[in-house]
Amino acid sequence: MAFLGNLFGAGGRDRAPSPPADTAWRFYVKSRHADEIIEVRIDPRHDLTEEFEGEGESVSHYSARKDAMGTKSFKMIRLHLIFDTDRQFTGDATVEGGSLVDKATYEAWKAAQGAA
């Protein structure tokens, strides 16, 4: 009977649902104000804003704006990112109060913080 329940969806009620896959982008911002790198999460399903250029009603690209603040400085870092119509990061970014760094730099900084 359990086989039929599993086949038709009745089984598995006792199991906890699996968590949804995290499809968010991760960006790493080095603060200009303190020795700190902040991880910024951008969810392409919820954080992107449609942008329109020229005539017509079709989306030309998407953008995301995030403000980040670390724990060593209370100065705001403003991040503005551009994504294409497929919601893929184009590489265009503006960072006020800091700069983008790669994941390897972030992980090295984090490891150094743990060792100190």
pLDDT in tens, 43-53: 988 999 999 98
pLDDT of residue 97: 95
Task: Evaluate whether residue 104 is within a structural domain.
Answer: yes
pLDDT of residue 73: 87
Task: Evaluate whether residue 43 is within a structural domain.
Answer: yes
Low-confidence ranges of the chain (pLDDT < 70): 1-16, 116
Task: Evaluate whether residue 84 is within a structural domain.
Answer: yes
Query: Is the separation of the CB atoms in 88 and 104 below 8 Å?
Result: no
Q: Where are the beta strands (DSSP E) in 37-76?
A: 37-42, 49-51, 61-68
Task: Evaluate whether residue 69 is within a structural domain.
Answer: yes
Q: Which domain holds residue 71?
A: 23-115
Task: Evaluate whether residue 61 is within a structural domain.
Answer: yes
Angle at 37 between CA 32 and CA 38, to 5 degrees: 110
The total domain count for the chain is 1
